[in-house]
Structure 1
Amino acid sequence: MLFTKMHGLGNDFIVIEDNGMDDNDYSTLASKLCHRHFGIGADGILVVKKSEIADSKMLIFNSDGSQAEMCGNGLRCYAKYLYDNNVVRKNPMTIDTLDGVKKVLIEEKNNEANKVQINMGKPILEPSVIPANFTENIINTKITADGEEFQITSMLMGVPHTIVFVEDFDNTDFEGIGKRIENSSYFPKKTNVNFVKVMNGKEFKIRTWERGAGLTLACGTGACAALVACALNNKTGKEALAHLAGGDLHIIWDDSNDVYMTGPAITVFKGESFI
């Protein structure tokens, strides 16, 4: 099986072409391919499929085998793969995901995709849609997870995201707190947990604990959700630079309620797997 290893700000993926397997088989394959010691190693796999409603359809499977609706860093890598390999040589292009069709704009350099801008869609705050066990929108809401209290803001930004604002960013227990909130009874389908340190009205730092993948170097949907949370809590404006462990993303939440993300995507290597 041929594959391409890619990453978006260190959030790494294995891209493979659809070979007709069902989702359960791709789930099993993802667990094997993504293993850091016995496989290729990645946060997830991206499956390239044909679409009847867009230029291509992307399936995402996390390293634990779970399927994700959407991933911003993955989508940038996926778009670069399509463009650079002449699978879809259109600009802009449309990509079908389990979170709907996304419009993608390519910034080209040396005849290849350099940066990718994605309309990530509109944030959804209704708890029943996230889903979350609350009756009102979750904006600066106090919760208790394993006996510890947290102030959170939650939404659906393709996938469920919860934002926790922190002051002592470098000494925050991302894994410990992330696990507790991810698996709390408030979120029946779990949630990604984003730790955000606001630097000023136009910049913030972020680390994301991803459900199904753990602590990653970057999460595109998380950065988008974080900007929305910052704006809702009057901590930044509706445009900011997100500083992730793997690099920076430019995020805009426009007046039509759409969130745009711009950032790089990198091809690391290509190969053949015998797993």
Structure 2
Amino acid sequence: MATLRFAKLHGTANDFIYVDARAGFPGDPAALAPRLCDRRRGIGADGLILLLPPSNGEADCRMAIYNADGSRPEMCGNGIRGLAKFVHDRGLSRAEPLRVETDAGVKTIRTHASGSGRVARVTVDMGRPVWEGRRIPVAADGEVVERPLEVDGRRWAVTCVSMGNPHCVVFVDDDVAGLALADLGPCFARHP
């Protein structure tokens, strides 16, 4: 059985398992992510993030992210902020700004240290948002901004955008605590 050294960090309540995999990773990360991220039998996390060597000279390092189900998003803003803290606090790179290669391109990250020298705050240049439906991708032509969408028997105004992975934004006048978000979210995600 291989030993896996890891750190667990979170950003805005998204938690990730971080592994320095520059010298390799013990197994198939897509197959291991569901086991590692299992909150009852594993470490428990929203995803697995690997620190890898860059594939070219445009970046200081590379990030590979695996969702808890083993799928691969191009990018995660909270995940890359955690990666910057992971890298800087462990002295794995002192590059400032840190350039991280992702599946959505190279992202530039600036870290802001506390008095102790540890990273206290991270800012990321995520690049330009993608608003065009087919490029997000969603099943819609043109920009998807405040478009009406029937979901779960109710008409919603949705805005879709990608910053490396697709997002559906819904502004509501309701008390959010009264909405069944755990049920509604998958309805939006699987909407044809």
Aligned pair 1:77/2:82, yes or no? yes
Alignment partner for residue 86 of structure 1, among 64, 79, 91? Answer: 91
Aligned pair 1:141/2:144, yes or no? no
Taking the aligned partners of 1:172 and 1:37, their CA distance within structure 2 comes to 26
Query: Aligned residue pairs: how many?
Result: 184
Q: 2:6 is paired with a residue of what secondary structure?
A: strand
Unmatched segments (≥5 aa) in structure 1: 186-275
Structure 2 counterparts to residues 228-267 of structure 1, below 5 A: none
Which has the higher relative contact order, 1 or 2, with Cα contacts under 8 A spaced 6 or more apart? Answer: 1
Structure 2 counterparts to residues 1-275 of structure 1, below 5 A: 1-18=4-21, 19-21=23-25, 25-51=28-54, 52=56, 53-109=58-114, 110-167=116-173, 168-185=175-192
Residue identity matched to 2:154:
E
Residue identity matched to 2:67:
N
Taking the aligned partners of 1:108 and 1:76, their CA distance within structure 2 comes to 13
**Could you state the TM-score of these two structures normalised by the residue count of structure 2?**
0.90
Q: Deviations over 1:229-274 (max 9, x none)?
A: xxxxxxxxxxxxxxxxxxxxxxxxxxxxxxxxxxxxxxxxxxxxxx
Residue identity matched to 1:91:
E
**Could you state the TM-score of these two structures normalised by the residue count of structure 1?**
0.64
Q: Percent identity?
A: 35
Q: How far apart are residue 21 of structure 1 and its match?
A: 4.8
Q: How far apart are residue 68 of structure 1 and its match?
A: 1.3
Taking the aligned partners of 1:135 and 1:28, their CA distance within structure 2 comes to 35
Q: Deviations over 1:47-91 (max 9, x none)?
A: 010002300000111111111111111111100111111111122
Residue in 2 that maps onto 1:262: none
Greater than 4 Å deviation, 4+ residue runs: none
User: What RMSD, in angstroms, separates the aligned Cα atoms of the two structures?
Assistant: 1.6
Unmatched segments (≥5 aa) in structure 2: none
